[in-house]
Structure 1
Amino acid sequence: MRRSPLALSAVLALTFPLAACGSDSLEEGGESATSATESVEVEADESLSEMVPAEIKDKGTLTVGSDASYAPNEFLGDDGKTVEGMDVDLFDAVADKLGLKTQWQNGPFDALILGVDSGKYDVSVSSFTINDERKEQVNMISYFSAGTQWVTTTGNPEGIDPEDACGKTVGVQKGTVQLDEIKDATKKCEEDGKEPINSVVEQEQSKVTASLVSGKTDAMLADSPIALYAVKQNEDKLEALGETYDSAPYGFVVPKDQTEFADAIAEALKAIKEDGTYDTVLKNWGQESGGVDDFAVNP
């Protein structure tokens, strides 16, 4: 789930529709969805706009922090600067509904919540798995569901068993729930008298994926949307191993003292679900399976 308190990123070149993905590119960036997607237009809802705290409404533009290395959820576009992806489209629709604009800033995943706490960002949108540790620091508004997925090279030549990866080399992104899982599994290997898992920890998920494609690692584990997208982008080199497990909601992040704003975001999510925008965005990015009907603050 992204990121232990955290985050993964398969920043491969995006090519739509997803069913046609097959690029071997591992470049930082991608192509936006164009003719293969349905356009989305969202009008502001005055009643929802009135829920936005005055200091935010007066500002008018939200600074949004995101780790843009997590395709297809958030990644840098062809210009190397613009943050794009499913999460971007969803939150931009929420902001439109609230009568607000967004300004996206790329940053390291493990610094995003601190950025919200410090006031650097008004919001952080970066595939954060909702958990108790994070809810103690910030407010989180649920909007999507994802689990963890193992990936190996085609044919699983190293015989990777997700239930017993002792002695294997496994790639994972820094600051993620998957890294916590590997640490726990390694401890168990040692307790059982087996070789520990050799963890290859990268700052960006794109590097985790590249290491697996190149054979530097035997397997990787990541959030299911990102892992399965990486498989689609490298169909001749990678394959999913086992089933997705431990599904949990993603949450938009706002400061702990901004409960009114968190409530407004939840209501805006309900509104874009009702008018069809939410489902259209997920369809455009091939992520319908992660859609939810319940949008709540700190579920």
Structure 2
Amino acid sequence: MKKITVIASVVLAVLSLGLAGCKKAPAKADNSLEELKGRGVFVLGLDDSFPPLGFRDADNNITGYDIDLAKEVASRLGVEFKAQPIDWSAKEMELTTGKIDCIWNGFTITDEREESLSMTKPYLNNAQVLVVRKNGGIEKLSDAAGKTIGLQKGSSAQDAVESNKDFADSLKNLVFYNDNITALNDLELGGVDAVVMDSVVAAYDISVSNKPLVIVDEVLANEAYGIGFRKTDVKLRDEVQKILEDMEKDGTVASVSNKWFGKNISVIGK
């Protein structure tokens, strides 16, 4: 009888250890906001050739719509601002390894990104469009069949093309670039027949460069821009969202938008 009792006790002990091992480890406290304020600097990761959201001016300074907004956010957080150029195709890795605090530079909100990151609410609407040479024979998406199309590697343009199977299958070839400006320059020179890219960037570049290019009216995909933070950095994400909404209410966002677009195109709080 004692032997059975001892065996039963051992079995219960083993089961208890097993159940204890199955318990989830306590979630790590979210100190993202406190840690950033403690470091005293807000590091924004961007593609520095993405006008008018984030790019280098004639004096090689990083400027743009997103930069102006982020500088004001940093000021209201009580920290310094730093714009950190990154390899856009490796942007998520730059974030997860802690090299940057957020991805903020025409970063499209997608289901996949919302699953893996802490995304803010949309702050600007956008669309993926086809940019072509004037009188180049492409007036709608179907005209791109059998043509060579350029786009930025790792961008939402690539996602838009790959998710539209009929469009992708109709193309002759895809050419990948490190940035949109290089792609547009190659388009102007005839290296590709069209470029898929963000409408916000395309419209701005065409207007300031006077390139003989036009945007096809038919849209490949509608989307919205957000700011991406690490999945665990919810408090920091929420504080940045709150500050942006305050900036919208007090007219700061409208002022920045008018500076870069000639009108307020913000969708913050809307």
**Are 1:227 and 2:218 counterparts?**
no
Distance 1:205 1:189 in 2: 20
TM-score by length of 1: 0.73
Q: What are the superposed Cα offsets for residues 14-39 of structure 1, whole Å, 9 maximum, x if unpaired?
A: xxxxxxxxxxxxxxxxxxxxxxxxxx
- Pairwise CA RMSD of aligned residues? 2.3
2:42 to 52, 55, 62: 62
1:140 is matched with: 119
Distance 1:244 1:101 in 2: 39
How many pairs are equivalent? 239
CA shift for structure 1 position 164: 4.5
**Are 1:247 and 2:222 counterparts?**
yes
What is the percentage of aligned positions where both structures have the same residue?
28
Equivalent position SS for 2:144:
coil
1:256 to 231, 237, 240: 231
Larger Cα Rg: Structure 1 or Structure 2?
Answer: 2
* Runs (5+) with no aligned partner, structure 1: 1-50
Distance 1:62 1:71 in 2: 21
Equivalent position SS for 1:125:
strand
Q: Give every structure 1 segment of 4 or more consecutive aligned residues whose post-TM-superposition deviation is greater than 6 Å.
A: none
1:94 to 70, 73, 94: 73
1:290 to 257, 261, 265: 265
**CA 1:261–1:131: 2 relative to 1, 3 Å:** same
Contact 2:88 2:155 in 1 (8 A): no
TM-score by length of 2: 0.81
Structure with the bigger percentage of helix: 2
Distance 2:53 2:104 in 1: 10
2:134 is matched with: 154
CA shift for structure 1 position 149: 2.0
2:14 is matched with: none
Equivalent position SS for 2:216:
strand
**CA 1:154–1:217: 2 relative to 1, 3 Å:** same
1:214 is matched with: 189
CA shift for structure 1 position 190: 8.4
Distance 1:52 1:256 in 2: 11
* Runs (5+) with no aligned partner, structure 2: 1-30
Q: Which has the higher contact order (CA 8 A, sep 6+)?
A: 1
Please say which of residues 143-152 and 229-238 is displaced more in the overlay: 229-238
Contact 1:221 1:227 in 2 (8 A): no
1:44 is matched with: none
